[in-house]
Amino acid sequence: MYVQINGNRLHIEVLGDRPGVPTIIAHHGAPGLGSLAEPRASFGRLSDAYRVVVFDARGSGASDDNGPFTHAQWVADVDAVREWIGAEQIVVAGGSYGGFIAMEYAIAHSDRVSAMVLRDTSPDNSNEAAARANALASARVTVDLEKFERIMTGTTRDDADLRDCWTEILPLYDHDYDPSLTARRAEATPYHYRTHNYAFSVNQHTYDVKPKLPTVTAPTLITVGRHDWITPVACSETIAELIPSSTLVVFENSGHSPQVEEADLWEATVREFLEEVHATR
């Protein structure tokens, strides 16, 4: 369905829409590249016990491309989606760049968050240097540095160039590399280069929520793949050190996507965490 949210038409799906169950709002990663398909595949598995809301953020997927593409706007959109669905409190979730938005939401709207679930994310932009070093050190592929720099600095030329640059780095993401899977992902990705460019040429320069993470009051589960190249384990360790009521779980046989590469274990981990949270409320 399409819903007008803050002057922008968002593509939204609601899974397990039953009265009386907690609501999860899950934010996808990769602005300009991501879509609701990612959180639908992972959090959608919890729709037997939760109402799960997933959506294409403004400037991504099938949603409209009206800006601004700022963290503040994306956080405001999450809260407007919460209000639209009629939930007083939510479990806010996000993976990768979506984790940035989830953390900023939990900071700005602590009274609206019953719990937070993070996956392979970072509390600041320091992961960029580690990602570059990991990409250059990879024995899997030889990265074209010009394409790498364009996608990581948000200077892609158009949607076709964003696709070309995205295809270049996709082999780095998985623990077990499957070229055919990489090709299918590149084909299935919706490309919005202006959104991506703004996120990585503007937002990333000032992104740092570390000073405010100690104010997060919600119980938080932090999950990360041991072999994540772009938001390494150290990033999640920093988040866990700063959020008072947090639990860190490292998935030993995963890269950037334990929700895919160790799907059953990841799902069980999230279920157990949320059951404990809501059993005490």
Q: Where are the domains of the chain?
A: 2-125+206-279, 127-199
What spatial distance separates the first Cα and last Cα of the chain, rounded to whole Å? 32
Q: Quick one: pLDDT band at residue 86, thresholds 50, 70, 90?
A: very high
pLDDT per position as a tens digit, 164-188: 999 999 999 999 988 888 889 999 9
Percentage with pLDDT > 70 across the chain: 100
Q: For position 139, what pLDDT does the model report?
A: 85
- Global pTM? 0.96
Tokens (6 digits) for 142: 């030889």
C-alpha to C-alpha distance for 186 and 196, rounded to whole angstroms: 15
Q: Which of 87, 51, 121, 106 is nearest to 218 (CA)?
A: 106
* Helix 233-242, helix 127-137: angle, nearest 10: 160
Considering the chain, what is the average pLDDT of its residues?
96
Architecture field, domain 2-125+206-279: 3-Layer(aba) Sandwich (3.40)
Residue type, 97: Y
Q: For position 198, what pLDDT does the model report?
A: 98
Provide mean pLDDT across the span 45-65.
97
Residue 280 has pLDDT above 80, yes or no: no
On whether the CB atoms of residues 29 and 98 are closer than 8 A, the answer is yes
Residue 281 has pLDDT above 70, yes or no: no
Q: Quick one: pLDDT band at residue 163, thresholds 50, 70, 90?
A: very high
Give the position of tokens 């070309």.
164
Provide mean pLDDT across the span 1-15.
97
Give the position of tokens 């404990």.
276
Percentage with pLDDT > 90 across the chain: 93
What b/e string do you get for 151-170 counting C-beta neighbours within 10 Å, with b at 16 or more?
Answer: bbebebeeeebbbbbbbbbb
C-alpha to C-alpha distance for 199 and 201, rounded to whole angstroms: 6
Q: Where are the alpha helices (DSSP H) in 50-203?
A: 71-85, 97-108, 127-137, 145-153, 159-169, 179-188, 193-198
Q: Quick one: pLDDT band at residue 141, thresholds 50, 70, 90?
A: confident
pLDDT per position as a tens digit, 202-239: 999 999 999 999 999 999 999 999 999 999 999 999 99
On whether the CB atoms of residues 116 and 225 are closer than 8 A, the answer is no
